[in-house]
């Protein structure tokens, strides 16, 4: 059985699409329709049609530009491209030939002739063009292209400025909201602590376990809310360069041990094994101890969140020439390679957020997608690098993930307060 001859028709007008489909479909051709230039270019590349019919005035690019683009594809250089257009002026026609079309058919289409014309083009017919008239059209068309390019660049620049402005408004809004929330939250926390410490309440708690459970739940939720608000403030500061490093002599071993401290209970509860492999530590660094601890703690927190109960987490610190490499490896669900590119960006969360539990340390316990953005900000401010390795995400096979922080020993962190970049 011979393959049906395929014609790609690039046209945004529905009436023209219907007409051509009817006439050429009736003549036995298979018609593919693209409504826009870019869609047409993609279809031409993937479907390799036997002939391309294109309108000139399309919403995104003109039929002439489609022709230039397709002619640069080695697989499409010989495919007949025919303009089908209402533009009948000879100057418009010449500009279209300059772009590289093989034929030019004007609308309204003569339906009794169209199928024959197309058959001829398919069998090698090429319009004869008077090359002497083309030179003027070539210059005019080049000029037109450059003017359109300039207009597009200007439009893109304006949109880019507008996007940056909107992004700034969004960042300011997030930061302002977090600050506005922090003040009353501190008051709520303070009063709740006061209430909790009152002798009458202490007595009540001792008598009634439900009262104690309510107050503990209240305090836990307030602390959780405070942590979220603080995370937003930290990441906003990093993004806007408004956070300061306070570097000093820092014992790496100490940083790692302290970042683990807060998780001792959950590690036990969830039967997660912590393995230390600190070769040659303690290492003295000149760094912001508290921020480095926050970075390690965030990664460790993630390793706990994304590793099912019974798994293990290995903490390694390895001396290398001029630098130290800290790695945190888990036996968890792993991270898809497509997500690995984005997880260090603000507000990026991989996987299904519907599955996130509300706890910060439960398996798949969700967050706002800020932890790793904070880590990257901190590590890069120290002149270091953070990266991730994982074969992919698989909740059955559990390929695990390894986060690697590399910090220079003689970092450019000077004694002064530094700004994040
Ligand atoms: P979140 O607060 O949501 O955990 P992070 O910025 O810390 O935000 O992490 C971004 C995303 O990266 C997470 O939503 C999670 O999908 C993925 N991720 C981070 N660490 C791990 C890990 N150890 N194992 C699997 N996925 C991880």
Q: For residue 359, what pLDDT is reported?
A: 65
In a domain, 420, yes or no: no
| DSSP 8-state class, residue 412 | S
Answer yes or no: do 124 and 154 share one domain: no
Burial class (CB in 10 A: 0-12, 13-18, 19+), 328: buried
Answer yes or no: do 206 and 351 share one domain: no
Q: For residue 413, what pLDDT is reported?
A: 55
| 289, 248 contact by CB (below 8 A) | yes
Gap between the Cα atoms of 10 and 47, Å rounded = 13
Gap between the Cα atoms of 3 and 165, Å rounded = 54
In a domain, 118, yes or no: yes
In a domain, 271, yes or no: yes
Q: For residue 246, what pLDDT is reported?
A: 87
The domain boundary, picked from 74, 97, 129, lies at 129
Answer yes or no: do 253 and 376 share one domain: yes
Nearest atom, ligand 1, residue 372 CA:
6
pTM of the entire predicted model: 0.68
Answer yes or no: do 12 and 86 share one domain: yes
In a domain, 136, yes or no: no
Q: Please choose from 297, 301, 302 the residue to mutate so as to test ligand 1's pocket, defined by most ligand atoms within 8 A of CB.
A: 302
In a domain, 108, yes or no: yes
The domain boundary, picked from 129, 163, 195, lies at 129
In a domain, 141, yes or no: no
Q: Can you give the residue range of the structural domain that contains 211? A: 149-239
Answer yes or no: do 255 and 221 share one domain: no
Residue 331: CB within 6 Å of ligand 1? no
Residue 302: CB within 6 Å of ligand 1? yes
Backbone angles phi and psi of 314, in degrees to 5 = -110, 125
Answer yes or no: do 234 and 276 share one domain: no
Answer yes or no: do 224 and 316 share one domain: no
Residue 63: CB within 6 Å of ligand 1? no
Q: For residue 419, what pLDDT is reported?
A: 40
Q: Is the dihedral of CA 104, 106, 110, 115 positive or negative?
A: positive
Nearest alpha carbon, ligand 1 atom 26: 335
Q: For residue 58, what pLDDT is reported?
A: 95
Residue 350: CB within 6 Å of ligand 1? yes
Gap between the Cα atoms of 309 and 307, Å rounded = 7
- Report how far Cα 201 is from the mean position of its chain's Cα atoms: 50
| DSSP 8-state class, residue 1 | -
Answer yes or no: do 118 and 168 share one domain: no
In a domain, 1, yes or no: no
As a whole number of Å, the end-to-end CA separation of the chain is 65
Answer yes or no: do 123 and 59 share one domain: yes
Q: Please choose from 238, 331, 372 the residue to mutate so as to test ligand 1's pocket, defined by most ligand atoms within 8 A of CB.
A: 372
Domain count, the chain: 3
Answer yes or no: do 38 and 79 share one domain: yes
- Helix, coil or strand: residue 91: helix
The domain boundary, picked from 71, 100, 129, lies at 129
Residue 37: CB within 6 Å of ligand 1? no
Report the chain (421 residues): mean pLDDT per 10 consecutive residues: 89 96 96 97 96 96 96 94 94 95 95 96 94 90 94 96 93 88 93 94 93 92 90 82 82 89 92 86 83 93 95 92 93 96 88 62 78 92 95 95 92 45 36
Segment (H or E) for 311: none
CATH number of the domain bearing residue 17: 3.40.50.2300
Q: For residue 417, what pLDDT is reported?
A: 42
In a domain, 144, yes or no: no
């Amino acid at each position: 059985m011979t393959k049906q001859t395929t014609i790609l028709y690039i046209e945004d007008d529905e009436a023209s699409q219907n007409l051509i489909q009817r006439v050429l479909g009736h003549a036995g051709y298979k018609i593919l329709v693209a409504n826009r230039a870019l869609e047409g270019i993609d279809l031409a590349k993937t479907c390799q049609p036997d002939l391309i019919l294109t309108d000139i005035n399309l919403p995104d690019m003109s039929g002439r530009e489609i022709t230039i683009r397709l002619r640069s594809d080695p697989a499409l250089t010989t495919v007949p491209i025919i303009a089908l257009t209402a533009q009948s002026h000879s100057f418009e026609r010449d500009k279209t030939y300059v772009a590289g079309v093989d034929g030019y058919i004007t609308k309204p289409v003569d339906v009794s002739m169209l199928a024959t014309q197309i058959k001829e083009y398919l069998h090698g017919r090429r319009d004869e063009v008077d090359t002497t008239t083309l030179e003027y059209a070539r210059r005019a068309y080049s000029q037109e292209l450059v003017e359109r390019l300039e207009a597009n660049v200007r439009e893109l620049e304006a949109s880019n400025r507008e996007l940056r402005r909107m992004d700034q408004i969004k960042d300011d809004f997030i930061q302002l909201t977090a600050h506005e929330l922090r003040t009353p939250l501190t008051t709520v926390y303070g009063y709740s602590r006061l209430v909790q410490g009152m002798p009458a309440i202490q007595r009540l708690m001792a008598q009634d376990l439900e009262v104690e459970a309510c107050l503990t739940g209240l305090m836990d939720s307030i602390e959780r809310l405070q942590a979220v608000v603080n995370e937003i403030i930290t990441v906003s500061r990093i993004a806007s360069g408004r956070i300061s490093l306070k570097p000093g002599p820092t014992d790496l071993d100490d940083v790692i041990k302290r970042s683990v401290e807060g998780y001792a209970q959950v590690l036990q509860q969830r039967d997660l094994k912590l393995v230390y492999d600190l070769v040659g530590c303690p290492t003295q660094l000149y760094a912001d101890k508290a921020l480095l601890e926050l970075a390690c703690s965030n990664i460790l927190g993630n390793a706990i969140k994304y590793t099912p109960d019974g798994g293990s987490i290995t903490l390694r610190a390895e001396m290398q020439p001029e630098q130290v490499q800290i790695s945190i490896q888990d036996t968890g669900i792993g991270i898809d390679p497509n997500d690995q590119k984005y997880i260090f960006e603000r507000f990026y969360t991989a996987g299904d957020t519907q599955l996130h539990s509300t706890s910060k340390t439960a398996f798949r316990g969700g967050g706002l997608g800020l932890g790793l953005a904070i880590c990257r900000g901190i590590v890069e401010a120290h002149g270091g690098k953070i990266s991730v390795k994982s074969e992919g995400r698989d909740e059955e096979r559990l390929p695990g993930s390894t986060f690697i922080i590399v910090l220079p020993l003689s970092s450019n962190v000077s004694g002064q307060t530094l700004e994040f970049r």
